[in-house]
Structure 1
Amino acid sequence: MKRINILFLLLSFVATAQNNNTTLLSLEEYLGYVKKYHPVIKQAQLITSTNEAKLLKARGAFDPKIEVDYSKKEFKDTEYYKKLNSTFKIPTWYGIELKGNYENNSGQYLNPEGNTPDNGLYNVGVSVSLAKDLFINKRMATLKQAKLYTKQGELEQQLVINDILFEAINTYLNWLQYYQNYTVHKDYYNNASVRLRNVKKNFEAGDKPAIDTLEANINLKSRDLDLEKANIKYIKSTLELSNYLWIGNNIPMELKEGIIPDTDTFSNIDIILKTSVSALFDNQIENHPKLKILELKKRNLEINKRLKINNLLPTIDYQYNFLASKVNNFDAFNTANYKSALQISVPLFLRKSRGDLQLAKIKLQDIDFEIASTRVSLLNKITATEREITSYKKQNEILKNLVNDYMVIVKSEERKFFLGESSIFLINYREVKLIESKLKEIKNEYEYAKTKSKLIKLLGRLHTL
């Protein structure tokens, strides 16, 4: 598959460069490309298109219909019969069907009841279901359900988009986390390198023992190892991020070296994800797409239940048609010439219909339980996530103070060392604790931002970003 390097797209979506070698890719710009070009989001749009096609198909049950039936038989120069029967039908919403018909039959052996005037016989009438299928029937139910499926498809599309955006946001935050980890290890690798040079100079001047140079050298190698581990994690996270970057015609992109995440993302996460609005925490759960989908499914089952109740009624079909041999105007039809029919059918035990109705009622009870369970589950998850956010916020304040305190201790230990009152071992020990605290702070910021995006996903609102 052809791959396009993202370098050629910098003018489209990359923020201002930090320096000549690095360029920022912000979370907003990244999400813009995900929403516009990612194949899964395009695929989600097909859900609505599919249900719209099903709705169009259901409307077809109410399309007017023309039927023509022509048959003829001749044998040994004898015309046995010639029959033409053409009908125009207009189905209506209720169990009523309007009909217009023209018959023209002739022949030596034609059944007498099929005889028509020389110019044929016209009839206009109506077919009515007087019990079963009057107020609801299969085509009415199918159309109602298709309309609900269209609404359901829009909600399902929102859920799919929510899921892919949640994964995309987490991948970006993960990329940012590993970039910051790499930056921390790189900075302290440089510190260790500078410290080793200074210790060597002091040793050569006779101010420090040889063991200090070995200690500084070991520390540098340890920092180098940590830096390499951080680098490979950063590279892997960059490749994972590339999975969500596409351009038109389903062409994947890859990040060019030198493109970095926006380090202000964690501090601006409320603005980016629109989570600073107090209304977000009002637990307006009734508008959640999952609950709306279940409500639509319930309405679908209610239509199905009505259809099953309808099947308990007897079948009583009545037809009435005005007849005329000539049609100059509508007055040609009158009540003196007509054709009518009545059909009645009643199952004796109705066991099949009663069984279907019982199953329909059970399905409705089942969906009620599912709605209640889903509502409680969502509320509990949202409450737990809000508490997580509060906890991560408190942890972040503690970690910031810890980092500041460790920075003071390290600087103090370095001053004492150069005054001959400390050792390189103590400096390294203090610095290790500082690095651990900084990495914990970054991890906590990542978890805080991730939990924010999780909250919006739980509320079903990521698609509105």
Structure 2
Amino acid sequence: GAAAAVDTLEAGLQLRSRRLDYQQAQLDFQTARLYLETFLWDNVGEPLQLAPGVVPEAVPPAASLPMPSGLDSLIALVDMHPELVKYQIKGEQLDVDRRLALENLKPELNLEYNWLWAPGNNPLDIIAPFENDYKWGANFAIPLLYRKERGKLNQVRIKVEQNSLDQDNIYLQLENEVRQRYAQFQQYDQMLTQATIMSDQYAQLLAAERIRFENGESSLFLVNSREVKYLDARKKQIDLEAKLGKALAELWERSGILEVLWLDWTDTVNGTP
């Protein structure tokens, strides 16, 4: 009757909607694929392309992810973050400049002594080094105002202080971002747990509704409604899995754990124990 035609029309609309979603997902996947290829290079500097069958790995459960033990452990790794290491190296360079500026403040003292004894002269002259045929002296120089030297030293001290302030500021920013990413990761983990439960329950309702439909106790409209709710719940679950993986990557990057993993990997490749 009319109800069957309406159910068929609704099923067709849902099919077209899913096709549009699928095409949009394909477009997003291709865009992300091309963006990733901009970071792929071989050993000789030639750009690489991903093989057609390469797809991202599924995000593992949060409990199996390689996480340090707690927030404090993550914050302790911030000191190895490349942004902080940059300021540490700059501080060492400025310390060399500071010591050089201090050396330039010291007075200059030059001692001169020329031994003019030559073969054929009286060897007894050696015991009288400050008499005939010897030249000796001393030069002592010191700037009166030290304007240039003091100006250089003050300039270096200002740079050292500014570098220290910048380093403290970056550390505080990284620490706050680690706390934020850690809280975000935990929140997504909890949300994913609930979304997984909801997806499983909607799948059970859909299976039960299909059994009822096969027994003549339901309609295609109800089956489609159950299926739409299940697909929405499943989509939300997949979105949260992606957000969880992204939050973990951002947490690793901000805490500096990527630097630790990179050093461990290079040690393994180079055979360093």
Task: Output the TM-score relative to the length of structure 2.
Answer: 0.76
Give the distance between the partners of 1:252 and 1:291, measured in 2 at CA: 30
Alpha-carbon contact 1:407-1:434 (below 8 Å) kept: yes
**Cα pair distance change 1:312/1:239, threshold 3 Å:** closer
Give the distance between the partners of 2:153 and 2:68, measured in 1 at CA: 47
Would you say 1:213 and 2:8 are equivalent positions? yes
2:53 equivalent among 254, 258, 261:
258
2:67 corresponds in structure 1 to 276
Alpha-carbon contact 1:389-1:451 (below 8 Å) kept: yes
Would you say 1:294 and 2:90 are equivalent positions? no
1:227 corresponds in structure 2 to 22
Would you say 1:383 and 2:179 are equivalent positions? yes
Alpha-carbon contact 1:402-1:437 (below 8 Å) kept: yes
2:250 corresponds in structure 1 to 454
Alpha-carbon contact 1:315-1:345 (below 8 Å) kept: yes
**Cα pair distance change 1:291/1:338, threshold 3 Å:** farther
Give the distance between the partners of 1:462 and 1:406, measured in 2 at CA: 38
Give the distance between the partners of 2:127 and 2:206, measured in 1 at CA: 109
Q: 3-state SS of the aligned residue for 1:245? A: coil
Alpha-carbon contact 1:322-1:334 (below 8 Å) kept: no
**Larger fraction in helix:** 2
Q: 3-state SS of the aligned residue for 1:309? A: helix
- How far the C-alpha of 1:287 sits from its partner, in A, is 3.9
Equivalent pairs counted in the alignment come to: 250
- How far the C-alpha of 1:334 sits from its partner, in A, is 7.8
**Cα pair distance change 1:340/1:447, threshold 3 Å:** farther
User: What are the within-5 Å matches in structure 2 for residues 153-172 of structure 1?
Assistant: none
Give the distance between the partners of 1:219 and 1:286, measured in 2 at CA: 53
2:115 corresponds in structure 1 to 322
Give the distance between the partners of 1:335 and 1:249, measured in 2 at CA: 72
Give the distance between the partners of 2:228 and 2:145, measured in 1 at CA: 84
Alpha-carbon contact 1:323-1:333 (below 8 Å) kept: no
Higher relative contact order (CA 8 A, sep 6+): 2
**Larger fraction in strand:** 1
**Cα pair distance change 1:349/1:425, threshold 3 Å:** same
Q: 3-state SS of the aligned residue for 1:316? A: strand
Would you say 1:246 and 2:41 are equivalent positions? yes
**Cα pair distance change 1:239/1:418, threshold 3 Å:** same
Q: Which runs of 4+ in 1 moved over 6 A?
A: 332-335
Aligned identity (percent) is 28
**Cα pair distance change 1:268/1:357, threshold 3 Å:** same
Give a deviation string over 1:126-159, Cα, whole Å, max 9, x none: xxxxxxxxxxxxxxxxxxxxxxxxxxxxxxxxxx
Give a deviation string over 1:414-452, Cα, whole Å, max 9, x none: 333344444333333332222222222112112212222
Alpha-carbon contact 1:288-1:460 (below 8 Å) kept: yes
1:340 corresponds in structure 2 to 136
**Cα pair distance change 1:334/1:216, threshold 3 Å:** farther
Alpha-carbon contact 1:320-1:340 (below 8 Å) kept: yes
Alpha-carbon contact 1:291-1:375 (below 8 Å) kept: yes
Alpha-carbon contact 2:192-2:241 (below 8 Å) kept: yes
**Cα pair distance change 1:299/1:262, threshold 3 Å:** closer
Comparing 390-399 with 358-367, greater Cα deviation is found at: 358-367
The amino acid across from 1:408 in the alignment is Q
Q: 3-state SS of the aligned residue for 1:246? A: coil
The amino acid across from 1:309 in the alignment is L
Give the distance between the partners of 1:246 and 1:300, measured in 2 at CA: 33
Give a deviation string over 1:301-356, Cα, whole Å, max 9, x none: 23322322333333222233434545xxxxx9887354434333332222222222
**Cα pair distance change 1:211/1:446, threshold 3 Å:** closer
The amino acid across from 1:308 in the alignment is A
Comparing 384-393 with 253-262, greater Cα deviation is found at: 253-262
Task: Output the TM-score relative to the length of structure 1.
Answer: 0.48
1:371 corresponds in structure 2 to 167
- How far the C-alpha of 1:270 sits from its partner, in A, is 5.1
1:6 corresponds in structure 2 to none
Q: 3-state SS of the aligned residue for 2:24? A: helix
Structure 2 gap ranges (5+): 120-124, 263-273
Give the distance between the partners of 2:238 and 2:252, measured in 1 at CA: 22
Give the distance between the partners of 2:253 and 2:234, measured in 1 at CA: 29
**Cα pair distance change 1:260/1:380, threshold 3 Å:** closer
- How far the C-alpha of 1:397 sits from its partner, in A, is 0.5
Q: 3-state SS of the aligned residue for 1:343? A: strand
Give a deviation string over 1:36-87, Cα, whole Å, max 9, x none: xxxxxxxxxxxxxxxxxxxxxxxxxxxxxxxxxxxxxxxxxxxxxxxxxxxx
2:145 equivalent among 349, 354, 360:
349
The amino acid across from 2:168 in the alignment is A
Give the distance between the partners of 1:338 and 1:269, measured in 2 at CA: 86
Comparing 382-391 with 367-376, greater Cα deviation is found at: 367-376
